[in-house]
Structure 1
């Protein structure tokens, strides 16, 4: 670039010198003569000398610039080589560091995996032991419970067999009307013995003008030489009651309704018979008791709407015997 500037300066100087020479030549033609010619010759020589000096300086500058370019090129190549070597060294160092980091990470991961495996193995062993103990306890408890249930089942089966035998006996007992009546009479006698003082009742008493005999006649606790008696007779309408129970067990609503109606009719009929046969004031009080031997039968009678009240009102017959335990008092000064 300095060489180009120098050439431009030389060219400008030459142009200026040419302009001066042209001006002087033009003036010399008008009459100055040989003096100006000598001056021009000297100026031309000076210009040539300056031009030669400028060319020499430009050549020197070009040489210097070439040397500088060569030196700079060498330095650049050296720097490039150093940078390449340094980068290669850095890449190698980074590669080694990365490899070391990867190896350290792999080792750490391996140690973590081994630690986790040991911990999991310990947990597995502990859980297995606990499960084994729990299973053993549960099995022992379950086995004990099974044994207890089996024992209870055997006991229940024995009770069922005994109950089956008793039911068979009861079926044979209730299959005969006379036997059924005797069972009800025996149960009623046991209740009377339980709730009444000794000598408070008589058995199989003829009350009316006919041959009808009431099962029990309870002497009422009143002050009289011939106290009136309360007729008590037991009835057990087994057929109607069994039809009702079977219909209930089978879920037969129509059969249940018909059986309940049949039971109601039977109880009303028996109450009318007791009223007709056994209520004869003043030999008796003005009402009687129809005893139903089982709680289930009495409960079914009580479930029939209005039956007990209506029978008590129209026939003067009561189905409940237990009021005697409260109302009946021993003979003597306690009688009110």
Structure 2
């Protein structure tokens, strides 16, 4: 196309020189108009060249877009592979989502390719139509310009000579024919170039579409293969992981069920125990029995069986039996003085008081507190009337409350403990201070036992003193006997030494009869007596 433009410019320059030589000054205006037309034609050709370049750039951009799309697909594929590797622990939902994304991406790429091809074809068609329209307009403009130039030249040549007019008319006619012919040739060449360019663009678009289809098919096949491989890998790993997790889960569930079963058994046992305790605490007789057992346990741990008794009739001519009584020494050892201890557990009023305090009911607290205090006073009055009878008992009795909370509530009531001691001679105790009181009584018992046994100790010491005097006399007699025996032993030693002196000069005599002779012959009774006297 550039060569064609150069040839056209060269031809136009030659035509301009011929016209200048033939026409002179009047032809300069025609030359200027022709130059303007040529410049306009040059500008249009430049625009056509730029349009062709823009078309080529569009094709290049399409190829770049295809490359970018391919790279994007590859990037998406790599990202998809990474996502698939990262999502191995996911299940079939992730695979379905991934397949949908790949399908949407393929559809999007196909749509983009179709849109690019359609846009390229539309742009090429529009460019061809636009060039055709511009060339037609240029031809019309040129023809109009030539016609106007022809009229002007004819009008000017009218005033000139007829010969010059005819020659100029002939020359202009030939020039017009040549110009129209050249413009027709130029139009044909431009049309051919545009047709070739359009054909080339269509061919390029077809090749681009074929290449894009091949690449998309390759990508789809690769994606299908990789997706199948990934699906098999994920299925295998999911199957193995699922079996392992299910095994662990079933084992864990079995262990937990066993623990739950064991816990339910323990809870049932605990519920039974709580139910038994509730039945015990709700039954008045059971509460009393529980208080008696607790009181008996404390007394058994502190005192000996000889120091207390159970179910004692402390008041003569009365059938009332106190639960426990401490045996205290009286004026007569055969008749002890009893200290009555009775267990009471008025829990109903105490529970009502606790409920009122929890609900912050001031009226209920006052009413329940008064009822609780009245019940304590009534129990103290019963104990004093039934079990206290001096001098058979002490002038006071002990009320045992088996709950520290109950005992603390009694102590918290202002003046209640002092009133019970002064009016009814009743001492209130709980589990802790009862053990302390019994320990104090135990120490008193030990001190009393020591005082009681002191006279016996003095009698035993007197007997020991008498026997020790007799023992001294026996020891003195024994000493004298030992001294006499010592003198006898001294005399025996003297006689032994005398005999040894006599035996030093005596030789051994032969035994004639083969019998041994006695060392000392038998002596008469008188001789024995003399010998014994010598020994003495």
Scaled to the shorter chain, the TM-score interval is 0.5 to 0.7
Native 8 Å contact 2:157 2:165 kept in 1: no
Whether 1:269 aligns to 2:378 is yes
Whether 1:299 aligns to 2:408 is no
Q: 1:90 aligns with which of 191, 197, 200?
A: 197
Where has structure 1 moved over 6 Å in runs of 4 or more? 225-229, 253-261, 280-286
Q: 2:308 aligns with which of 186, 191, 201?
A: 201
Question: Gapped runs of 5+ residues in structure 2?
Answer: 1-25, 28-149, 422-426, 451-536
Native 8 Å contact 2:345 2:401 kept in 1: yes
CA offsets, 1:267-320, max 9 Å, x none?
321122224444567876675432234x4xx6356557944x543211123141
Q: Distance in 1 between matches of 2:386 and 2:412?
A: 24
Task: Classify 1:90/1:162 alpha carbon distance in 2 versus 1 (closer, same or farther; 3 Å).
Answer: same
Find the counterpart in structure 2 of residue 144 from structure 1: 255
Task: Classify 1:149/1:274 alpha carbon distance in 2 versus 1 (closer, same or farther; 3 Å).
Answer: same
Greater percentage in helix: 2
Greater relative contact order, per chain length (Cα 8 Å cut-off, separation 6+): 1
CA offsets, 1:2-24, max 9 Å, x none?
58668747747xxxxxxxxxxxx
Aligned pairs for 1:186-265 within 5 A: 186-196=293-303, 199-207=306-314, 211=318, 212-218=320-326, 230-237=339-346, 240=348, 264-265=373-374
Question: Is the deviation greater in 140-149 or in 122-131?
Answer: 122-131
Task: Classify 1:289/1:60 alpha carbon distance in 2 versus 1 (closer, same or farther; 3 Å).
Answer: same
RMSD across aligned positions (CA): 4.9
Q: Distance in 1 between matches of 2:311 and 2:244?
A: 74
Q: Distance in 2 between matches of 1:115 and 1:257?
A: 89
**CA-CA distance at 1:231 after TM superposition:** 3.1
Whether 1:325 aligns to 2:435 is yes
Q: Distance in 1 between matches of 2:380 and 2:172?
A: 154
Q: Distance in 1 between matches of 2:338 and 2:386?
A: 14
Find the counterpart in structure 1 of residue 184 from structure 2: 77
TM-score calculated relative to the size of structure 1: 0.59
Helix, strand or coil at the partner of 2:325:
strand
Question: Gapped runs of 5+ residues in structure 1?
Answer: 13-53
Aligned pairs for 1:115-126 within 5 A: 118=226, 121=231, 125=235
CA offsets, 1:77-124, max 9 Å, x none?
111111111111111222222333344444555555566664574796
Q: Distance in 2 between matches of 1:112 and 1:271?
A: 102
Native 8 Å contact 1:312 1:318 kept in 2: yes
TM-score calculated relative to the size of structure 2: 0.40
